[in-house]
Structure 1
Amino acid sequence: MPAATAAFLSRRKPLHPGARALAVTQDRLSEKSFVADCGLSVAPFRAVDSLADLEAAVAVLGRPSVLKTRRFGYDGKGQVKILPGTDLAEAHAAIGRSPAVLEGFVTFAREVSVVAARGADGSFAAFDLCENEHRDHILAFTRIPAQVSAATEAAAIEAARKIGAALGYVGVFAVEMFIVGEGEQESVVVNEIAPRVHNSGHWTSEGAQTSQFHQHVRAVCGFPLGSAQRRGRVEMENLIGDAALRWRELLAEPGAHLHLYGKREARPGRKMGHVTRVFPEQG
């Protein structure tokens, strides 16, 4: 939905999530500037509107770095890695010479996300920090709890709370982050905001007291937010492409909760469903 359409509607009827959240998150440059203005860490970045901009940005941020279109990119689409041997003119052409942002490369230990809800009254509830494993730029597994310190998890959730408050957000959203360093050196770097229920939160349907979908409805309807407490240790596996053909095997697996999305064709890289497994907490 164009941000202008959302703004038009919001002037006439309540709109949740709001037009500002859409406008900020649809543009990578706006989003990164917004997060930095919240006092949160992001990868170093530069705006790129031309080949000359790209050359200047690479001179500052170095290689490796990542060139991303400002709009319409997801699951690795609309981006090119800038490596030592990368021809910058070819990289710029590969993204259609679209307005873009160059991001400095972040050497991270883990990828995580906070899935949270915020009500119109400012109430806030976050699910436990999710640890995400990507393959070919697509989320493959989400595991909860994340293998980080309690202090790092608290910092990640506080970052999401700040973002939600600054946007005046109402509903469920996710903040994808990098964990940089290990142990006492861990820190959180915000990667991007998803203004919606999120793939890394699908586990909540069986793995939490309130699913992210129910939580979203509660938030936008002005109902009290539900408990985000986890029911155990959880693993969510995305079924990508032909992996969905394992559905008989998964249905026979004790404790596996299978969700198929009803898509007719299993293409490579296409999310066809997911399976969630909930395990007892370790003693």
Structure 2
Amino acid sequence: MPSLSEETNGAVKMLQPGATIGIVGGGQLGRMMAIVAKYRGFRIGVLDPTPDCPTAQVADFQVVGEYDDKTAIHDLAEKSDVLTYEFENVDADAIDEVRHLVAAPQGTDLLRVTQDRINEKTFINRHGIETAPWREVNDFDELEAAIDELHYPCVLKTRSGGYDGHGQHVLRNDTDLEKIRARGDRGGGFPPSILEGFVDFAFEASILVSGNGEDYVTFPMVRNDHRNNILHITVAPAEVSDELHRQAQDLALRLAKGFELAGTLAIELFITKDGRVVVNELAPRPHNSGHYTIEACSIDQFDAHIRGIAGWPLPEPKLLSPAVMVNVLGQHVAPSRALIGSHPEWNVHDYGKAQVRHNRKMGHITVLTDDTAQTVADLEATGVWDDLK
């Protein structure tokens, strides 16, 4: 087992090539982690319930099992020198139970904070960083009281779980509120939740920060466009003032130091109309909005993640070219593939998923450009993404 630093959150000191990194989760993020790790000379194992999942296709071995299967996690731990995860819905207790067998550089504090929206908002606010106003709500009476304080419109989110808009309900008036009551009356219950006030934002953004448990670096802030609660397009860099960019970098570094971060952390932001940077959510891993870094930056988010959990030094990322990244969902696979031959500027990434489904992330395309607005227009003009207009 590699040596661990006593001063940091389980970060390793210089994991050597030839060691094995075990990834919990076999989707596209794990796949892209694995590819860069192989470049660095590491072996890769993956735990995922689906045989030949995207990560397994580029890994050395797969443990087939559910993410909360403690026997499977134990098996992966025994075969690995370091464990990491590609998404936050991982059993933190199960990770803790194998830390005598394997290094877990990200620790589980980061997991426990980001798995629980109350913990997450509390952590962010305690570091002097603004979020949307929020209230904890555990039943319908508490929800009504919270609405009286925060007012309509507001967003009701389950305290844990949920992604791409799942587990979220926008409440604009009493009619929407009654729908929540009716759901509970039908036996749907009222799960532990958080109510967030609306933020009057000009646009959505995000910033990535990576660390090795001691030193931290940031990537450029980018602008994001969501459709149906799923990221559609990322534009790098976001066209903001130097001061706004410094604010985003500062809060990213504060959070990274607070977590003693090893790996990559994504921070989703609202940029308000009056020029404030408000944190929306955290993701304790590489992020969809950071895929542009593969072609556009001197080091990409996956390389930074692998370097971080391996205890390697981290160079400051440099943006080599402005870029536009667009997601390819299930309904976009066939029309986008049909156009590959006529678009040499497209950097096409396919995630190797066996089943194509509507709104499922199947890949992405990145275009390096000197004119991001024109590139966005050119992509939209292909008609591939007309269903999202």
TM-score (norm 2): 0.68
Q: What amino acid is aligned across from residue 164 of structure 1 in structure 2?
A: A
Q: Secondary structure at the match of 2:195?
A: strand
The C-alpha deviation readout for 1:50-76, integer Å capped at 9, x for no partner, is 111111111111100000001111100
Counterpart in 2 of 1:35?
A: 124
Q: What amino acid is aligned across from residue 203 of structure 1 in structure 2?
A: Y
Counterpart in 1 of 2:258?
A: 166
Counterpart in 2 of 1:54?
A: 143
TM-aligned CA deviation for residue 97 of structure 1: 1.5
Counterpart in 1 of 2:249?
A: 157
Aligned residues: 278
**Greater alpha carbon shift after TM alignment, 153-162 vs 239-248:** 239-248
Q: Secondary structure at the match of 1:86?
A: helix
TM-aligned CA deviation for residue 227 of structure 1: 3.9
The C-alpha deviation readout for 1:92-114, integer Å capped at 9, x for no partner, is 53775111000001110011101
Does residue 222 (structure 1) correspond to residue 315 (structure 2)? The answer is no
CA 1:147/1:20 → structure 2, altered by over 3 Å: closer, same or farther?
same
Between the aligned partners of 2:202 and 2:340, the Cα distance in structure 1 is 31
Q: Percent identity?
A: 37
Instruction: Name stretches of at least 5 consecutive residues in structure 1 with no aligned partner.
Output: none
CA RMSD of aligned residues (A): 1.7
User: 1:5 pairs with 94, 98, 101, which one?
Assistant: 94
CA contact (8 A) 1:51 1:88 kept: no
**Greater alpha carbon shift after TM alignment, 244-253 vs 220-229:** 244-253
Q: Secondary structure at the match of 1:166?
A: helix
Q: What are the within-5 Å matches in structure 2 for residues 172-187 of structure 1?
A: 172-181=264-273, 185-187=274-276
Counterpart in 2 of 1:108?
A: 201
Q: Secondary structure at the match of 1:165?
A: helix
Q: What are the within-5 Å matches in structure 2 for residues 119-268 of structure 1?
A: 119-120=212-213, 122-181=214-273, 185-245=274-334, 246-268=336-358
TM-score (norm 1): 0.93
Between the aligned partners of 1:10 and 1:50, the Cα distance in structure 2 is 37
Between the aligned partners of 2:298 and 2:96, the Cα distance in structure 1 is 34
Q: Secondary structure at the match of 2:220?
A: coil
CA 1:235/1:96 → structure 2, altered by over 3 Å: closer, same or farther?
farther
Instruction: Name stretches of at least 5 consecutive residues in structure 2 with no aligned partner.
Output: 1-89, 373-389
Between the aligned partners of 1:163 and 1:10, the Cα distance in structure 2 is 24
Between the aligned partners of 2:100 and 2:254, the Cα distance in structure 1 is 25
The C-alpha deviation readout for 1:150-201, integer Å capped at 9, x for no partner, is 11011011111111111111101100010012xxx41100001100011001
**Greater alpha carbon shift after TM alignment, 228-237 vs 244-253:** 244-253
Between the aligned partners of 1:248 and 1:227, the Cα distance in structure 2 is 38
Between the aligned partners of 2:258 and 2:321, the Cα distance in structure 1 is 32
CA 1:11/1:53 → structure 2, altered by over 3 Å: closer, same or farther?
farther
Does residue 270 (structure 1) correspond to residue 360 (structure 2)? The answer is yes
Q: Which has the larger radius of gyration?
A: 2
Between the aligned partners of 1:212 and 1:14, the Cα distance in structure 2 is 21
Q: Secondary structure at the match of 1:158?
A: helix
CA contact (8 A) 1:207 1:231 kept: yes
CA contact (8 A) 1:10 1:19 kept: no
Between the aligned partners of 2:161 and 2:241, the Cα distance in structure 1 is 34
Q: Secondary structure at the match of 2:161?
A: coil
